[in-house]
Structure formats: structure tokens, C-alpha cells
Amino acid sequence: MEFIDIIGYFGALLIGIVLGLIGGGGSILTVPILVYVLTVDPVTATAYSLFVVGTSALIGAIRNAQKGMVDFKTGIIFAIPAFIAVYLTRKFLVPAIPDDLFTVGTFEVTKNVAIMVFFAIVMLVASVSMIKGRKDDGDEDKEIEYNYPMIVVEGLVVGVLTGIVGAGGGFLIIPALVLLAKLPMKKAVATSLMIIAIKSLIGFLGDISNVEIDWTFLLSFTALSAVGIFVGIYLNKFIDGKKLKKGFGYFVLIMGVYIVLKEVIL
């Protein structure tokens, strides 16, 4: 095994640790690690990311369900349009994007460049969400209300976004659950993991016929990420999650800027 592969697999462990520590954000590292460290093609990397993110979120969702933290009704209402959108995006939309999109002067914008730049934009938005933080709004005993049309629309939007970039989209799902379903923050975070697991894993099924999957690599990478989650959960007892989240937000911001510079300028 080469040194660069060791760094890549350490990255898999890091993804899980971040997810375990702050309950999200780790998926935003998956695509850059796969593309820039392990030199996986961006389209394949976003497919792999869906599997890694979906499996990791499923572990977290099972843990939360055992604690009674998951609101299954809200999760299913949100997840149905989301997984339909992500499946159709991976099955039909991503393969339909031409390899060469357009040319600006001497710079040729390819499918791979467009996916990575769009991913970087998602990273920048997510970083702002992490740096600003969220107020722990929501009354634990308040009756849950549903804005069904907006929940369906938000589910579709998050599904398409997830399908294109392969990230979980928790930074979009959690505010939607708080604002549209009036879920308390802790339940929103727990329920979002269930939604991410469902839509990511079903979305990945849309890739099986379109992308050549190296199962040995994917399963070993995912297993390390899963180990990382339990390490992160353990470390969470000793580390201030809010400060860590803000620090990670700045790291994601720098990574997003780096990807834009690398793909567009360098």
C-alpha cells in the first residue's frame, strides 16, 4: 500500500470521527478525499460518497432511534420526495450531463470541473452554517406541526443537491425540520440522520448500473468511516462540540476556496 493510500484511508477514519463528534459535516470531506487524495473520478467519487454517507448516517440513526430521539413520521414525509429526487438525479440527470459543457476563452468547463465547483459552493454554504451555529430553538413538548407542501419541496431540492454532489445535506435538512415541522433541535438533528441514510443509500442504487464500483475499496473505506464514528462519539465526552463545529466550519471554508482555485484558476 502506497503512502498516499494510507493518507486516504486515514481520511476515511477522519470522516467518521467528525460525524461522531459534531453529528454532521463529515460527509463534506468524503468527495475531496476521494478525488484529491485517492484520485477517484468525481462522478464515481460522488457515488461512493452516497454509500459512505448513507451507511455512516444509518449507524447514527439507529443509535438515536434506540434513545427515542427520531421522529419517524416527519422523517418519512421528508425522506420520500428526497430519495425519489436523489435516485432520479443519479440514474438519469448525472449520466445525461455531457463531458464537455462549454468553453470560456481558453478554459474548457468539463463535467468533472462543474461537479467539483458546484461541490465547493455547497461546502462554502455549509461552512457559513457551521461557523454561525444554530440556536437551540424548539420546545421539546410542543405539538409538531407540518407544512406539507414546503416539506415536499425542500425534500426534492435536498434530493437533487445530494444526487449531484454526494453530500448528506444535513445543513439544509435540519433548519427545514425546525422551521417547517417545528421539531425541537435535538430531534431535528437525530431525524436528519435517518433522512440522510434513506436518501443516500437509495440514491446510490441509481449508480449501480451507471458507475463501475470497486466494492473491495468501497466497503473497506466505509468500514473505517464507521469505526471513526464510534471514536468520535467517545471523544465527544471530552471535547466542546460547539467550538469544534465552528473550527471545522473554518476548515471547510478553506477547503471550498481551495477547490474553486484548483479547478478554475490553477
Mean pLDDT, residues 85-112: 90
Is the pTM above the cut of 0.85?
Answer: no
Q: What would the pLDDT profile of 1-39 be if each residue is shown by its tens digit?
A: 678 889 999 999 998 888 777 766 667 889 999 999 999
pLDDT at 134: 62
Residues 24, 9: Cα–Cα separation, whole Å: 19
pLDDT at 143: 62
141 has pLDDT over 70 = no
- Output 238 or 96, whichever has higher pLDDT: 96
Percent of the chain's residues with pLDDT above 90: 39
Residues 116, 4: Cα–Cα separation, whole Å: 21
Residues 88, 91: Cα–Cα separation, whole Å: 5
90 has pLDDT over 60 = yes
223 has pLDDT over 90 = yes
Give the HSE-up count for residue 217: Cα atoms under 13 Å, Cβ half-sphere: 15
147 has pLDDT over 70 = yes
pLDDT at 4: 82
What are the residues whose beta carbons fall under 8 Å from the beta carbon of 164, sequence distance 6 or more?
46, 89, 93, 94, 115, 118
Helix axes 185-205, 42-66, angle to 10 degrees: 140
pLDDT at 257: 94
Residues 254, 28: Cα–Cα separation, whole Å: 12
pLDDT band at 166 (very low <50, low <70, confident <90, very high): confident
CB atoms within 10 A of CB 122: 22
Residues 151, 81: Cα–Cα separation, whole Å: 9
Q: What would the pLDDT profile of 190-204 be if each residue is shown by its tens digit?
A: 898 899 899 999 989
Residues 155, 136: Cα–Cα separation, whole Å: 22
138 has pLDDT over 60 = no
- Output 155 or 140, whichever has higher pLDDT: 155
CB 163 within 8 A of CB 89: yes
158 has pLDDT over 80 = yes
CB 154 within 8 A of CB 80: no
pLDDT at 47: 92
pLDDT band at 139 (very low <50, low <70, confident <90, very high): low
Residues 166, 139: Cα–Cα separation, whole Å: 32
Residues 211, 91: Cα–Cα separation, whole Å: 10
What own/partner pairs with CB < 8 Å and gap ≥ 24 does 91-97 have?
91/206, 91/207, 91/209, 91/210, 92/206, 93/160, 93/163, 93/164, 94/43, 94/46, 94/163, 94/164, 94/210, 95/210
Residues 95, 52: Cα–Cα separation, whole Å: 21
The domain locations on the chain are 3-265
Most confidently modeled range among 18-22, 140-144, 174-178, 224-228: 224-228
pLDDT at 180: 80
171 has pLDDT over 80 = no
Which is nearest to 44 in space by CA: 253, 211, 202, 243?
Answer: 211
Beta strand residue intervals within the chain, DSSP E: 100-104, 107-110
Q: What would the pLDDT profile of 177-192 be if each residue is shown by its tens digit?
A: 888 888 887 888 889 8
Residue 108, phi then psi, degrees to nearest 5: -95, 125
Of the ranges 140-149, 202-211, 218-227, which one carries the lowest mean pLDDT score?
A: 140-149
